[in-house]
Structure 1
Amino acid sequence: MTQSYLAPSAFKSLDVFLNTLKVGTIVRTPGDFNAFSFDPAYRLTGGVPVLSLSFRSATGGLRKDPQPMVGVLPAFFANLLPEDKLRAALEKHHAGDVRPGNDFDLLAALGADLPGAVRVLATDGSEIRAPHEEGALTKARFSLAGVHMKLSVMKNAGKSRGLTLPLVAGEGQYIAKFPSTAFPGVSENEYANLALAEAIGMDVPERELVERSDFEGIPKDFQTFADGKVLLTKRFDRGAGTRRVHIEDMAQVFGVHPSRKYEGAAYHDIAAAIATAVSPAAALEFVRRLALAVITGNGDMHLKNWSLIYPGEGAAPELAPVYDLLSTVPYSPADSLALSLGGEKSFKAITAARWKRFANRARLPESGVLLAVSETLERVNASWWTLPERTLIPKRVLSRIDGHIKTMTTTLSVD
């Protein structure tokens, strides 16, 4: 049978899979209504492997199918798509096939290579318009959440040993984050902060700094004009070969659309959710990571920068490795926390009293939370000042990070 090829804007129905297991269908109806329904066979399993905790009922099993939405996808699927400049680049890259601002079109175009183990494919078996049909080069057909200009890439095994876009969906084993003209030294900043997190005992992805010249065939729509290193991190949602490991971020857990990632919940809500879904010990590990964000001045740890991962059969979540670690205060001295901590966002207001309020709201023991914070502060000061990677950060940026850590050391050391 001859394979049919369609533009993403022509698709009317998409099947949703976790790896190879069909879990449901998204249908687009006249008027641009998007409706998701669970597959009857998947519903009989009670929702195992887990697609999202947001779809689980309090008594177990799956909730009713979510209400159809006009013009946008249900929150879980909307959070699989890129935002801002990265979304604009992908829409431009697929101009003519994807209408700007249309979630369904973009999901159809990128659905074979999404974050985690989710795959979204045409119900009738049609494939996205093949590049060779138009005599074009291979299209970038991956989706990564977030706004930063980035690519999902693979390392060539040939003589060139360079980095390139994968030819097969899911083969991208690394995320390449490109430098920014607005934020000098951002790659080195994040690289050093990841090294710090690892030095104090946190689970972080493998990473390295590479040159732009190491990449082959970057589509022009993803080119940036900034000079500097590219941060390459190993994807923890990809296993050997094309095996995928399911993940979901906290915006998906809470059923919050990307536009509300800075307001859809507070940090104590995340802690409470982790304590319930994973364990109280995992919630205290979240506290350590949150304390690190406070100490280093990371004002961008919104709902999409915390994730759960579903290893093995995908029946139960664990806390995913920590990611998107960098200090934002060098670029915005008046920056504050992305979400509320004990009723406050200002870094300098996050005293022991605020941590106690956070603990009570999260239903965690005060003593355990305060110990996690104090131990993190002690470990940061024992590691940061001699950390080899800090020397890679531009001096002006490093000076501001150092100043913030000193200020927060004083703030957090006062009962």
Structure 2
Amino acid sequence: MSDTEKPVWVWLPAQSRPVRCGRFSLIRGVGTFHYDEDYLARPDALALDEFSLRFTRSGRGLRETRQGGLFGVFRDASPEGFGLALLEQLRGATLTDPMQRLEMSEGDSVGAVEVCDDIAAKLSFRAPASEQLLEVVAKLSPERASSQAAREVKGMRGTSLGGERPKLTVLHKGQHWIAKLQDRGDPPHAPLREYVAMRLARRCGITVADVEFAPVGEREVLLVRRFDRHVDDAGQVTRRLYASAHTVLRLDAQTRGERQRSYVALAYDMERWCGRADVNTAELKRELWRRMAFNAICGNGDDHPRNHGLLYRDGRWGLADAFDIAPYITFSGTLAMAITREGSSVASTGNLLKTCESFAVDPTAAARYIEATKDTVAAGWGEEQAACGVPPDTLPPPSFEWLADKA
């Protein structure tokens, strides 16, 4: 196909080989997608997106003008931040064209969708062993940043993972995990801080991706198991459809203060995406409220819409496991997404209680959860550090001072 039009491929549930599902064109900032007739005729065909890429037989196709013309699930699969910089360095080219980025990116992108001519190149991706990465990290000289290890792992050709912090997909315990590295500009002990928060979130009733902490001398690596991948006993990889909250909310730029950039809006759209007779959407909303409350309590101001998402598994859409909870050392007291219907992102107890009924949470139960979570975080902050062999006072616990309602 031309540089402005490419096939779109999807991994259907439990399948290790993708099928072509349609074609995507991008011309002067306008994206157009058409499902293939052969794909629509399949009894197991799935829509890639419950709204923007719904099934249609319209000859005009589906159009998108936000995000430079990229549909959300395509944008989710495109490299950005560290992954894009690494890809450009290893390829020796500046990839300004979105279609070029999708074509040249590695086959470890989030979710189960690829937009490319050369699907064989995506299928050739092999995650390096975690042991190999840790060995490279251990050999770095003291003046070199841990992030440089990602460039030196044998066979490494880049990563399609998003975010600014250095990370790559590794094979760990027979499955795909994300290895997060300490970058030169990161606050001290960033991997440890995220590990402790993720462990405590699970203690507080939140569904969290599995995490492991790997100290390498004076350096640290955080391992987070990927929930959108499964490697079977034969080494075949299956993938699950994923849509970031940015996609679900139909956002354009990542701009704080945008009306739709809120937990309340996400709860509403999540109900539309996930609403089925066999799905307890009230419990999904309660889980989302717990995540919002935990972020507020522990001081995670990096809770932007790309750090939340929905996953298709067991024949239905639902909340993906929490996967990026990284409290700030100095927290401003505001979250990246609004908490209330009025648009306030102030991480106060009053705001959490004010909005709780929008998430099917009783105010009395909400107040109990906030107090219990504060107790769990305060008691567990040092315990989790000690449990992974780190002095329990390496990281000071959150102060919770921002939770007090201002007069």
Q: Which band: TM-score by shorter chain?
A: 0.7 to 0.9
Matches of 1:408 and 1:28, distance apart in 2: 45
Correspondence 1:16 to 2:9: yes
Structure 1 residues 256 and 11, CA gap change in structure 2 (3 angstroms):
same
Q: Is 1:323–2:323 an aligned residue pair?
A: yes
Change (3 A) 1:384 1:113: closer
Is the alpha carbon distance of 1:364 and 1:288 closer, same or farther for their aligned partners in structure 2, counting shifts above 3 Å? closer
Unaligned runs of 5+ in 1: 1-5, 132-136, 158-171, 214-226
Q: Name which of 197, 202, 210 aligns with 1:198.
A: 202
The alpha carbon displacement at 1:280 in A equals 0.6
Shift of 1:339: 1.1
The more displaced of 85-94 and 283-292 is: 85-94
The answer on 1:295 being equivalent to 2:297 is: yes
Q: 1:265 to 1:402 in 2, by over 3 A?
A: closer
Structure 1 counterpart of 2:335: 337
Contact 1:200 1:383 in 2 (8 A): no
Question: Is contact 1:37–1:66 with CA below 8 Å preserved after alignment?
Answer: yes
1:67 to 55, 63, 68: 63
Counterpart in 2 of 1:221?
A: none
Matched to 2:160, the amino acid is S
The 1:17/1:141 distance shift into structure 2, 3 A limit, reads farther
- CA deviation after TM superposition for structure 1 residue 372, in Å: 4.5
Aligned mates of 1:256, 1:386 — CA distance in 2: 39
The amino acid that maps onto 2:337 is: L
Pick aligned residue for 1:232 from 208, 217, 223: 223
1:209 aligns with 2:213: yes
Aligned to 1:308: 310
Equivalent pair of 1:108/1:121 in contact (CA under 8 Å): yes
Quote how far apart the aligned CAs of 1:308 are. 1.4
Name whichever of 39-48 and 99-108 sits farther off: 39-48
Helix, strand or coil: the match of 1:255?
A: coil
TM superposition shift of 1:293: 0.5
Written as runs of structure 1 = structure 2, the 5 A alignment for 1:225-304 is 228-240=219-231, 241=235, 242-257=237-252, 259-260=254-255, 263=258, 264-276=260-272, 277=274, 279-304=281-306
- Give the 3-state SS of the residue equivalent to 2:229 in structure 1: coil
How far off is 1:322 after superposition? 0.9
Are the counterparts in 1 of residues 23 and 34 from structure 2 also a CA contact under 8 Å?
yes
Query: Quick one: which amino acid aligns to residue 266 of structure 1?
Result: S
User: In the alignment, is the contact (CA less than 8 A) between 1:71 and 1:102 conserved in 2?
Assistant: no
SS at structure 2 position matched to 1:151: strand
CA positional deviation for 1:356: 4.3
Over 3 Å counting, the alpha-carbon distance change for 1:138 and 1:200 in structure 2 is same
Quote the Cα distance in structure 2 between the aligned partners of 1:49 and 1:261: 33
1:295 CA drift (Å): 0.5
Percent of pairs with identical residues: 22
Deviations 1:295-346 (A, max 9, x none): 100001111111111113xx41122111111211x1x443521011113223
Which residue is equivalent to 2:96?
101
Any idea what SS the aligned residue of 1:52 has?
Answer: coil
User: C-alpha distance in 2, partners of 1:355/1:32?
Assistant: 39
Give per-residue Cα distances to partners, 1:20-68, cap 9 Å, x unaligned: 2332211245x575432222344567995242233266xxx55974325
Contact 2:300 2:331 in 1 (8 A): no
8 Å CA contact 2:249–2:265 kept in 1: the answer is no
Is residue 179 of structure 1 aligned with residue 172 of structure 2? no
Trace 1:164-175 onto structure 2 (pairs within 5 A): 173-175=176-178
Residue number among 9, 32, 35 corresponding to 2:32 in the alignment: 35
Amino acid across the alignment from 1:82? P
Aligned counterparts of 2:73 and 2:43: Cα–Cα separation in 1 = 18
With structure 2 as the length reference, what TM-score do the two structures score? 0.73
User: What do you get for the CA RMSD once the two structures are aligned?
Assistant: 3.8
Counterpart-to-counterpart distance in 1, 2:268 and 2:344: 18
Decide whether the 8 Å contact of 1:249 with 1:306 is kept in 2.
yes
**Alpha-carbon offset, residue 365 of structure 1:** 5.3
| TM-score normalised by length of structure 1 | 0.72
Q: Note the C-alpha offset of 1:188.
A: 0.5
CA contact (8 A) 1:116 1:237 kept: yes
Number of aligned positions between the proteins: 355
Q: Does 1:82 align with 2:108?
A: no
**1:164 equivalent in structure 2:** none
